[in-house]
Amino acid sequence: MNNFINGAFGRLILPGIILQSVLIGGGFATGREIVEYGAKYGALGWLGGVGIFIGFTVMAIVSFELARMYKAFDYRSLLQAVIGRFWVLFDVLYLLLAILIIAVMASATGEILKSTLGLNYWVGVILITILVGILNFYGSGLIEKFKTWGTVALFAGYIIFSILVVSNTWDHARQVLASGDTSYVGGDVSILAVLWTGILYVGYNLAVYPAALFTVKRQQSRKDTVISGIVAGILMTIPWFLTYVSIIGYYPSDEVLSATVPWLVMLDGYGSWVVILFGIVVGWTLVETATGMIHAFIDRVNSHMEERKGTTLNKNQNAVIAIAALVLAILFSQFGIIDLISIGYTWLAYGMIAVYAIPFLTIGIVRIIKHKEKADTKESTVA
């Protein structure tokens, strides 16, 4: 297994798996996110999906290449290399967004496990908190294996859910797309509005990129970063389109589009086994998302400590940080999923675009081009 992960799979596929596994919790799990950032526009929503794929792919390639160039495998080191002392702004936004995303998932998971498996709300939340603490206790090796197999299971789950829903609603979905129906948001919808929604979706999900930086250590060339970035973009966007097409099959049903967890409404009537499977899948997504985002923060702390004191956190401290972050997120979760997503995600998306996306797409790309020019100059001198 170690040889497999350390080979081409680890260089080209694993970074995308880590990104997708962290993204799916805050980006797709409940279906509410897809309503707010695409599906509410009905027939035009797919344009947002195309923009999302391009955005995820470009940001993955640029982030991976800069991390490889500077050997910066935690977000503090990477942000310092790109924007210098202003990296601390990202630190603040990252922690707020990480806690917010985990809060959304904690709230959703507690309710879903209660309605699907009959577990008490707090039993589900406490169980997941313990799992995240254990994963962060054992560190990168276990996290990579957990996420590799977890992503396979999650994809299988969402494909099953989508097939069940789409097979019964495809005629209506096709009618919505053919008629250009955007009635849920009312009036004329501009293409720019849909594309901007996609940009905001990518913006708030920029917080997931640091979670994959530790896997970039295996990448050996720009070719590796480009291929792995494209793979990441594909893996990160497939669940979006699966969920979008499923929701369009009910468009413009207020029962589905106004639901706290649209997937639960869409899966109602398909048998208890489907709902139970969904509860397990969503629980798993919270574990993966929380683990990835907290692990990225722990890597940042370790990098700073090693630089200042020559030491790093021990396993017990890793687990304590993970559990403390989850407890704080659980407190935030009491505000409710819809408000957390529609208000919290949107405002923090603007911040992430300003502090991460714009510098990386300007300063970062210039640095990448200049780095290539230097490499070409050295090669010609040797020749």
Task: Enter the pTM of the model.
Answer: 0.80
Question: Angle CA(108)–CA(109)–CA(113) in degrees, nearest 5?
Answer: 125
Positive or negative torsion for Cα 272, 277, 283, 289 = negative
Cβ-based neighbours of 52, under 8 Å, separated by 6 or more:
37, 38, 198, 201, 202, 237, 240
CATH number, domain 2-382, options 1.20.1730.10, 1.10.10.60, 1.10.10.10, 3.40.50.300: 1.20.1730.10
Report how far residue 244's alpha carbon sits from residue 241's, in angstroms, rounded to the nearest whole number: 5
Q: Taking the chain, what is the end-to-end CA distance rounded to the nearest angstrom?
A: 41
What is the b/e burial string over 43-54, where b = at least 16 CB atoms within 10 angstroms of the residue's CB? bbbbbbbebbbe
Quick: pLDDT tens for 98-148: 777 777 767 776 777 677 667 777 776 677 667 777 776 766 666 666 666
Cβ-based neighbours of 202, under 8 Å, separated by 6 or more:
51, 52, 55, 56, 59, 357
Token pair in block for residue 344:
């919290």
Q: How confident is the model at residue 380 (pLDDT cuts 50, 70, 90)?
A: very low
pLDDT (mean) for 231-251: 93
What is the residue extent of each domain of the chain? 2-382
> Largest Cα–Cα distance in the chain?
70
Quick: pLDDT tens for 292-328: 777 777 777 877 788 777 787 777 887 787 778 777 7
